[in-house]
Amino acid sequence: MNSFAIKYIALLSLILAHVSCKEKSEISLPETLNRNLVAINYAKGFSIEKCASGITIIKVFSPWPGAEDGFTYALVPKKLKIVPYPNKKDFDAIINVPVERIIATSTTHIPALENLGVIDKLVGFPDTRYISSEITREIIDKGKITDLGNNESINTEMAINLNPDLIIGFSINNQNKAYETLERSNIPLVYNGDWTEETPLGKAEWIKFFAPFFSLEEKAEDIFKTTESNYLAAKDLAMKAANKPTVLSGALYKDVWYLPGGKSWAASFINDANADYLWSDTDVTGSLSLSVESVLAKAGNASFWVSPSQFIAYNELDEASRHYSQFKAYKEKKIYTFANTKGATGGLLFYEMGPARPDLILKDLIYIFHPELLPGHQLFFFKPLQ
């Protein structure tokens, strides 16, 4: 802070006792003690700080797997006069909130916007055919959401013409040229890393990330508390099961069997449903790549098989590989898939809605593994293979 700003604050101390936060890695203004961390109990990929001045600081630590650097954003209320105003060089973006026009880039962003009641603020999206929500599809059909092409090569001219207040970005690395073009056009771009979270409630908690952009923090907190309560109640119920069945997951792709690592999001659901995922002892958050022989040796007698890649029918398994029919779960018709639960345009509801509703995923798995605990439950995401 320069000397003029310090004198200015001293002169108006009674009015400006709580001044804006300023930071990249550390907050350096005198008001460092007048800020509060918002409680983020499960998600590891972001943090939120509320400054006494009214500014909100959001840090994103994991915009994509293996990211070496995170991002820091300042959210400044439109009606609040901040002196001194945050310096652009200290932040990756400064956003005036609440925003009125946004572009989102991942289907996982849709449930958060809908649940917060701000889906009407969405004006652009890359490849809208992948959006499955009936609510948002109706808005798309009315022509109120512009299709911007592919996420890796967004039509930047169309995006700029939409005059958005904010772009919520999704990327697998820092090489998205379209995003760079949009940022040079002075459109604030904020990376969302919800998909990098490794736990069910961690992903769901990202609704708190969206809320400050719309000044809806209390609503997001209430929504997440309900989801958390439902999930933990279902998990407790699963622990009452008398048995713990063994579970296989994944399928072959070009002679390699890909299945969830023991510390992954998918494995967490199986474990929380009180089932024995046969690779739960592996310290891997992503996927394991195995030979079909090793999978058959370990899981040939597994009681259940869930998420067999893109397969939705037994005849598809037969056509793909003769090895599948050797598994007990195949023989006893105990294979369950989410690949056949689709929206009107073919998008998978599991990928779009699942991260926001881990309680529904868990209840499906509890019903599959322990049907006596949830009599009358109607499967939502997972369905028996046809």
User: pLDDT tens digits for 231-240?
Assistant: 999 999 999 9
Considering the chain, what is the average pLDDT of its residues? 88
Domains of the chain: 3-226 (3.40.50.1980), 241-384 (3.40.50.1980)
Separation between Cα atoms, residue 236 and residue 230, nearest integer Å: 10
Mean pLDDT of 108-131: 96
Q: Which residues contact 340 (CB under 8 A, 6 or more apart)?
A: 312, 383, 386
| 310: nearest Cα among 297, 320, 299, 301 | 320
- Residue 189 pairs in a beta bridge with 167
The torsion angles phi and psi of 117, rounded to 5 degrees, stand at 75, 25
Separation between Cα atoms, residue 386 and residue 384, nearest integer Å: 6
- What pLDDT, on a 0 to 100 scale, did the predictor assign at position 177? 84
Least trusted range by pLDDT, from 78-82, 88-92, 191-195, 260-264: 78-82
Q: Which residues contact 40 (CB under 8 A, 6 or more apart)?
A: 46, 47, 48, 205, 208
Cis? peptide before 84, omega within 30° of 0? yes
Handedness of CA 14, 216, 150, 194 (dihedral sign): positive
Mean pLDDT of 320-326: 92
List the structure tokens of 186.
Answer: 């002075």
- As a whole-number percent, the residues of the chain with pLDDT over 70 amount to 90
pLDDT tops 60 at residue 9? no
Least trusted range by pLDDT, from 4-18, 54-68, 291-305: 4-18
| 190: nearest Cα among 51, 351, 292, 74 | 74
| 173: nearest Cα among 156, 200, 151, 148 | 151
pLDDT tops 50 at residue 2? no
Separation between Cα atoms, residue 56 and residue 5, nearest integer Å: 21
The predicted-structure confidence for 293-315, as pLDDT tens digits, reads as follows 999 999 999 999 999 999 999 99
pLDDT interval class at 34 (50, 70, 90): low
272 alpha-carbon distance from chain centroid? 19
Q: Please tell me the pTM assigned to this model.
A: 0.87
- What pLDDT, on a 0 to 100 scale, did the predictor assign at position 20? 42
pLDDT interval class at 68 (50, 70, 90): confident
